[in-house]
Amino acid sequence: MSVTVLYFASLRDAAGCDRESLPLPASIQVLYAELSARHGFVLPAAKLRVAVDGAFVPWDSPVNDGSEIAFIPPVSGG
Amino acid sequence: MSVTVLYFASLRDAAGCDRESLPLPASIQVLYAELSARHGFVLPAAKLRVAVDGAFVPWDSPVNDGSEIAFIPPVSGG
Amino acid sequence: MNRFAISEVVFEIAPLREQLLGHQAGAYASFEGWVRDHNEGRAVQGLFYESYRALADTEGQAIINQALQRFAITGAACVHRTGELALGDLAVWVGVSAGHRGPAFDACRWIIDEVKTRVPLWKRERYAQGPATWLHPDPEP
Amino acid sequence: MNRFAISEVVFEIAPLREQLLGHQAGAYASFEGWVRDHNEGRAVQGLFYESYRALADTEGQAIINQALQRFAITGAACVHRTGELALGDLAVWVGVSAGHRGPAFDACRWIIDEVKTRVPLWKRERYAQGPATWLHPDPEP
């Protein structure tokens, strides 16, 4: 039972990789808290959006085995 | 003592020419009233602007010998 | 450089746009007006634009100069066609460069609005049915 | 046709614009974002844009579809670069065609605003002085 987490921009730099496979977490919030502690993410969850399997979802959405979870830092296109 | 009058768009069609030389008029208003009667201009003076020697001027501006007077119907560029 | 021009022939946008772009300009907004196949419910077959050339040049240049004063922009230009235009022909182009997109959009729109209001240009439309007509619209309220 | 695209290489505007023009469209508004030589007072030497490609495509297409619903326009498209960009390179293009200029301008501006707010794209700036930095701006109020 695992998920894939995708990192972009400053989160990728901080994590040192663009993705990792991790055990299925209790929730997306718990996952981000653990990752923040481990990788030293400075962006608080309140500033991020989250996407599961390529679509934006609320932070309190369930996660399933095999899901691809992306934490979306504030965007700066244009 | 004469002036040149320039006609554009529907005024030119009504006048049947794009310019004519006329005796120096008492005023621009008087000139337009005379021309309206003679050429059957349907646009009232209130809808027109007037230019003398290539610059917009008020309707009560003086006219001088040799001036080029253009009656500017409502524009429709763009 | 004249930043406003009347063109009696088809003109290319690319070189006009090139002149506006520079390393300081992060934003470029443009507007193009094309000959439509209809206007106010009538089928249009073509247009003729006439200008009072000397005054149109002066008034158009004044609009560009005023835009450069009123808005935080780095460049602006406008070209308007005259003569016979067919469906799909380019009638007018406006381009504005700026550091940021807000002023670029605002100035571009202001320029085309002013050109339509102030520059001595007149459009005669040819219709599928009925005689060609000069358009002398009342000023917008 | 995909009306929103991410391009990893330099792209040409001309064919994109061609696709938007038609005899029904009297008005065309466009926006281009270029790499500036400065940002918030710092000298910029170049940019790198990264995207979450799958989600960026979905979100970008959603923006175009919403614009077609919200505004009286006939067409809209947007292309955004990713990868390394030099000063003066084109970063983003938006084009909108419409019967009238008001909706063309409004939709063009709305699309670029939404792209900047919603599409998962991130910019890393390289400066003349100091380390390159990812930009994670706070949402505009």
Nearest CA in chain D to C18: D88
- Residue A62: predicted pLDDT: 93
- Residue D38: predicted pLDDT: 84
Q: Report yes or no: C77 and C4 within 8 Å, Cβ to Cβ.
A: yes
Q: How many CB pairs under 8 A join C and D?
A: 82
Q: Residue C141: is its pLDDT beyond 70?
A: no
Write down the ipTM of this complex.
0.93
Closest C-alpha among D43, D42, D61, D65 to residue D53: D61
Q: How many CA atoms lie within 13 A of C17 on its CB side?
A: 18
**What distance in Å separates the CA atoms of residue D139 and residue D141, rounded to the nearest whole number?**
6
Find how far residue C91's CA is from the centre of its chain: 7
Please give the structure tokens belonging to residue A2. 């695992």
**What distance in Å separates the CA atoms of residue C120 and residue A56, rounded to the nearest whole number?**
53
**What distance in Å separates the CA atoms of residue A1 and residue A64, rounded to the nearest whole number?**
8
- The residue assigned the tokens 């443009």 is C30
% of chain B exceeding 90 in pLDDT: 100
**In a mutagenesis test of the D interface, which of C101, C108, C111 is the best target, namely the one with the most D β-carbons within 10 Å?**
C101
Closest C-alpha among C123, C138, C135, C137 to residue C46: C123
Cα→Cα distances C131→B14, B40, C67, C126, C128, Å: 15, 19, 38, 7, 9
Identity at C114, one-letter amino acid code: E
Q: Report yes or no: D123 and D83 within 8 Å, Cβ to Cβ.
A: no
Q: Residue D141: is its pLDDT beyond 60?
A: no
Nearest-Cα distance to chain A for D73, in Å, is: 22
- Residue C40: predicted pLDDT: 81
pLDDT of D19-62, one tens digit each? 998 777 799 999 999 998 888 888 999 999 999 999 999 999 99
* Axis-axis angle for helices C101-118, D101-118 (nearest 10): 180
Output b/e per residue, C49-83; b: 16+ Cβ within 10 A.
Answer: bbbbebbbbbbbeebbeebbeebebbbbbbbbbbe
Nearest-Cα distance to chain D for C22, in Å, is: 7
**What distance in Å separates the CA atoms of residue D61 and residue D78, rounded to the nearest whole number?**
9
- The residue assigned the tokens 């990728």 is A12
Q: Which chains touch A (3 or more CB pairs under 8 A)?
A: D
Q: Report yes or no: B6 and B19 within 8 Å, Cβ to Cβ.
A: yes
Q: Which are the contacts of C109, defined by CB distance < 8 A and separation ≥ 6?
A: C31, D101, D105
Q: Report yes or no: D85 and D50 within 8 Å, Cβ to Cβ.
A: no
Kind of pairing between the strands at D38-39 and D42-51? antiparallel
- Band (pLDDT 50/70/90 cuts) for residue C73 is very high
| Burial class of residue D127 in the structure, from the number of CB atoms within 10 Å of its CB (0-12 exposed, 13-18 middle, 19+ buried) | middle
Mean pLDDT is lowest, of C119-123, D52-56, D85-89, for D85-89
**What distance in Å separates the CA atoms of residue A10 and residue A12, rounded to the nearest whole number?**
5
Nearest-Cα distance to chain A for D125, in Å, is: 11
**What distance in Å separates the CA atoms of residue D112 and residue C102, rounded to the nearest whole number?**
11
- Residue D140: predicted pLDDT: 63
Q: Nearest by CB to D58, from A6, A54, A73: name it.
A: A54
Ordered domains of chain A (ranges, CATH): 2-72 (3.10.20.30)
Nearest CA in chain A to D79: A78
Cα→Cα distances B20→B47, B60, C12, C21, C122, Å: 22, 21, 36, 46, 20
| C55–B8 CB contact, under 8 Å | no
Kind of pairing between the strands at A68-72 and A2-6? parallel
Average pLDDT rounded to a whole number, residues C75-86: 97
Q: Nearest by CB to A76, from D52, D112, D137: name it.
A: D137
Nearest CA in chain C to B57: C55
* Chains A and B are in contact, defined as 3 or more C-beta pairs closer than 8 angstroms: no
- Beta strand ranges found along C4-120 (DSSP E): 4-7, 27-34, 38-39, 42-51, 73-81, 83-86, 90-98
- Residue C2: predicted pLDDT: 60
Q: Report yes or no: D30 and C18 within 8 Å, Cβ to Cβ.
A: no
Average pLDDT rounded to a whole number, residues D92-105: 96
| A70–D122 CB contact, under 8 Å | no
For chain D, what is the radius of gyration of the CA atoms? 16
For D49, other C-beta atoms within 10 Å of its C-beta total: 23
**What distance in Å separates the CA atoms of residue C4 and residue A37, rounded to the nearest whole number?**
60
Average pLDDT rounded to a whole number, residues D109-121: 98
Q: Residue B76: is its pLDDT beyond 70?
A: yes
- Band (pLDDT 50/70/90 cuts) for residue A61 is very high
pLDDT of A5-31, one tens digit each? 999 999 999 999 999 999 999 999 999
Nearest CA in chain A to D78: A78
Identity at C50, one-letter amino acid code: E
Nearest-Cα distance to chain D for A78, in Å, is: 5
Query: Which of D 49-108 lie inside 8 A of C, CB atoms?
Result: 87-88, 99, 101, 104-105, 108
- Residue D2: predicted pLDDT: 61
